Amino acid sequence: IKKTPIVVDDQWGFFAARVQNTYILEGITMLLEGYAPALIENLGKMAGMPKGPLQLADEFSLKLIRNYEAQAAEHYGPKYIQHPAVEALEKMINDLERPGGKSKPGFYDPATEGMPAIWSALTDHFPTVEVEPNLEELTQRLLVAQVLEALWCLQERVVNSIPEVNLGSVFGWGFPAYTGGVIQFIDRLGEAQFLALCRNLEHRFGPRFKVPSILKKGLLAGK
């Protein structure tokens, strides 16, 4: 079939879409925080992702992205913590009537000739803030969000082995190949340094950067 198959459990969101969604949501959150759309998109691509998070959101449709969050809310019940990006999704879909998807406007205007362009009025509705961006931290957020969700998938047995997770991340949704995959990303950085990075991100940006116990308790060994 000219594909590399991996075995995943039939749970909410599916493994690849569920993890990729965190990249999209983090990019949308940065838009809410006042970062320029072009900066967000360029950082995603410079980090090694195939496309920027806002462009990916449009291609999937903002309604689908929101539906993944609704599935998460139903699955986790009272443990669910709404992602801050949901506010922007609701605004785009309901208030601005730009839901993205096939040939529909979203964060981008549909392409008439050549490549689609970021909606020129986007910053009227999501104003940019005149602050010096911490490019390293923004890039870390886009990648670490995916790494953590992949760890949650391992902990919840959505997928059962580290090689499958690494393969699925690179070939499934285009996690940067130079890292070796989402779990190999931790090994490249060093587990202690990764944990420290996540603690800092959790302190600054909230519980979506909480590290699953599968890593904190050393349970990745043997996976």
Q: What is the pLDDT of residue 5?
A: 47
Does residue 185 contact residue 156 with C-beta atoms inside 8 Å? Answer: no
Give strand ranges (E) for 73-149: 108-109, 117-118
Q: What is the pLDDT of residue 223?
A: 56
Domain ranges of the chain: 15-125, 135-216
Q: What single string gives the DSSP state of each residue in 105-126? A: -SSEEPPSSSS-EE-TTHHHHS
Supply the pTM of this predicted model.
0.91
Q: What is the pLDDT of residue 112?
A: 74
Per-residue pLDDT of the chain (223 residues; tens, 9 = 90+): 344 444 444 454 579 999 999 999 999 999 999 999 999 999 999 999 999 999 999 999 999 999 999 999 998 899 899 999 999 999 999 999 999 998 899 999 987 777 889 999 999 999 999 889 999 999 999 999 999 999 999 999 999 899 999 999 999 999 999 999 999 999 999 999 999 999 999 999 999 999 999 997 766 665 5
Residue 114 CB: number of other CB atoms within 10 A? Answer: 6
Q: What is the pLDDT of residue 114?
A: 77
- Domain covering 135-216, topology: N-(1-d-carboxylethyl)-l-norvaline Dehydrogenase; domain 2 (1.10.1040)
Rounded to the nearest angstrom, the gap between the alpha carbon of residue 162 and the centroid of all alpha carbons in its chain is: 19
For residue 79, the one-letter residue type is K
Q: Which two tokens stand for residue 190?
A: 């060093």
Q: Which two tokens stand for residue 74?
A: 């139903």
Q: Which CATH architecture has domain 15-125?
A: Orthogonal Bundle (1.10)
Q: What is the pLDDT of residue 12?
A: 47
Asked if the domains 15-125 and 135-216 are classified in one and the same CATH topology, the answer is: yes
Q: Of the candidates 128, 171, 136, which has an alpha carbon nearest to the alpha carbon of residue 19?
A: 171
- Burial degree of 155 (CB within 10 A; 0-12, 13-18, 19+): middle
